[in-house]
Structures are given as C-alpha cells and as structure tokens.
Amino acid sequence: MSHAGASAQPVSSQLTVIITTSPTPSAPSTELISAILSSFRSHCSLLLSCRVIVVFDTYDRIATHARLKKGQVTPDGARTFDDYKRNVRKLILKEFRQDDSEENLVEGHGEAEFGHSAVEANFVSFLTSQTVDEQVTFIEPAKRLGFGLAVRSALRLTTTPFVWVQQHDWPLVSDITLEPLLDIMRRSESDENTPVKYICFPSIRLLSYADSAHVTHFPMLKGLTASLKRDFVMESGVSVPLTPMFFWHDKPHLASTQHYLSRVFPTRLSMSRGAFIEDTIGQRSRNQMKLGNWVKWATWLYYPDNGERLCLRHLQGRTWQGTEKELEMKAIWMARNTQQTNHVE
C-alpha cells in the first residue's frame, strides 16, 4: 500500500485501543475509566472512533491487606470486582457503540501461555465477549495475567496495524495529534535508520527527557539523541517533535502491532505470568540500547514544546479510592484533627 493510500484511510481502520484494568480500591465505581474516556474526548477524540479491547485482569488471592501489584486483594475488593466489570462493560459499550446492552455479544475463549511448554499448567484460559462488528471486545481471564500477558492477549486479537495501549489510571492532559503520528509510523516502515515503531507520551518524570540523566550520562545515548531527535514535517505542513526513548514504558503509548508481538513477545518464554513489560523487556531493551542497538527497538517519546509539555497524569489506581471515599476519609481526618485541637485547648 502506498503512503498516500494508507494516509487516506480513517484512523478507525488503522488503530485499536487496548485498555487494561484490574482490581482497584475505587471499585465498583468506574471513575478511573471514565477519566480516561473523558480525556480522550478532550484531547484525542479520534481514539473513541477506533476498535477497543478491554482486558479485565483479575487477582490471585484474597488477604487482609491489598497488594494489588502482586495480585492480592481484600475480601471487599474481591466482592466488588464483578460489579466493577459489569459497570465498565456498560460504560465502554455506551461510549464506543452508543448502546450499553450486552445481549448480542458473541462469546469465545482463548489461552495465554507462558514459561516452558513442558509444564502443562503454564497457561491461563480466558473468555472473550465481542460485538458482532468487532468494535468492542472484552477479555476476562480465569486467573491473573499481569500487564504483560494482558497486553499480549489483546494484541493477538488485534486486526489493525497499530495499537494504543492504555492503562486504567493514566488520563491525557494535553492534545495528541494522532493522525500525523500514525502517518510518521507508516512512512518509517521501510526506513532502516530511523524507524518509528513505538511512541510514548510524556509524564512528569519524562519531561525534558532528552537532557535528563537517563540520556546525558551515557555517551552512546547522548550521541543517538543528537542524531535522531527531530521534528517530522508532514506534507500538510504539520510538524511533529519526537526524541528517541531508551526504554519500553508501560504507560500509554502508540505502537506497531507486529513490532510489539515480534519484539516484546517473540516466544512464550518472553513474559512470565504477573510480570510488567517495563520491569522485564524495558530493562533488557535499555541495556541493549546503551550498547548502540536502538534500531532494534525503535522507541520514541512525543516531545512537544521541546519536552516541556505534560501529556499524561497518573491517578494512582492502586491507592486512589474514588471521589466519594476520598471525601469520606477527608471528613474523618478533619473531624479527628478538630477533636485533637479541642482536647489540647
């Protein structure tokens, strides 16, 4: 397909949005996901026209104290998770289909394998439910997958050349020019020197990344930045600033579907159950890029205003309890402080 022909296609035929979510203290409220969708409407509305795959990762065990990154929830967290999933399904169907009915969803199943194939137990079965037009897909694993296997399971159901991977607690706070970014990725497919296969968006810790210690303390990375950092100018005259990123982050990013599968998940041994991509592949890719092998990963950071514009905000989904619970806790603390003050007086 020519670049002109590819550019003429709507974003909705080129991109799938993958949303990963899991038990959270704010459940069964959908405030986290609602914040994500609201940020899409405000800063990148084209995402809402795309196909969407939502992965409902689950928990491993129930205990007195929650350790959500380790798959551990409280009894209350376990009780509310089914309600949370039901509420999110209705919200997603309403947003992407304008119809929150689940009556006509087509059900299916799959397996997420991991580790050595000689161990028969090294897989997690999951159920899928999908609208007839494949606009919306839900994945519900029988056991906890972890972020890595959750993304891989969704990628295997993706039919578009590009994906937007979205964790449930990272809303956008600045406008994203999606069409030019996709155009850059398409145009770079045959570029052996400057491929663009992955674009991350800046959070507070990634501001001024090109001048940070993550880059400048390493001569190879500093040299790569000097040669690769640029403004990509489209035929329309739109200029898109990018700088090379020397890591594969889990936070919201745009990527080539095929590159994702072949580079991050080449075999079942690539990702263990419960693992995060940035904790495993992220570290491995950075070590290789420090030696100069950046082209293999082709990772970039969106860099508006020379790296000074924030695009993402973290809502701390593992600890945030939702607006109502946060207000209740605030009222309790205020009451305690008042009692202590009165007691001192």
pLDDT in tens, the chain (345 residues): 444 445 568 999 999 999 999 999 999 999 999 999 999 999 999 999 999 999 999 999 999 989 988 889 999 999 999 999 999 999 999 999 988 888 889 999 999 999 999 999 999 999 999 999 999 999 999 999 999 999 999 999 999 999 999 999 999 999 999 999 999 999 999 899 999 999 999 999 999 999 999 999 999 999 999 999 999 998 888 999 999 999 999 999 999 999 999 999 999 999 999 999 999 999 999 999 999 999 999 999 999 999 999 999 999 766 767 666 655 545 555 556 666 665 555
Residue 98: the pLDDT is 86
Residue 331: the pLDDT is 55
Question: Which are the contacts of 237, defined by CB distance < 8 A and separation ≥ 6?
Answer: none
Distance CA 24, CA 203 (A): 21
Residue 151: the pLDDT is 98
Which two tokens mark 211?
A: 């001048």
Residue among 250, 51, 86 nearest 157 (CA): 51
Q: Where are the beta strands (DSSP E) in 114-229?
A: 123-130, 136-141, 162-167, 198-200
- Sequence letter at residue 77: G
Distance CA 140, CA 126 (A): 5
Residue 2: the pLDDT is 45
Residue 345: the pLDDT is 58
Supply the pTM of this predicted model.
Answer: 0.91
Contact 290, 87 (CB under 8 A): no
* Domain positions in the chain: 3-115+122-323
**Correct CATH for 3-115+122-323 of 3.40.50, 2.60.120, 3.90.550, 3.40.190:** 3.90.550
Residue 36: the pLDDT is 98
Question: Which are the contacts of 62, defined by CB distance < 8 A and separation ≥ 6?
Answer: 72, 73, 74, 75, 77, 78
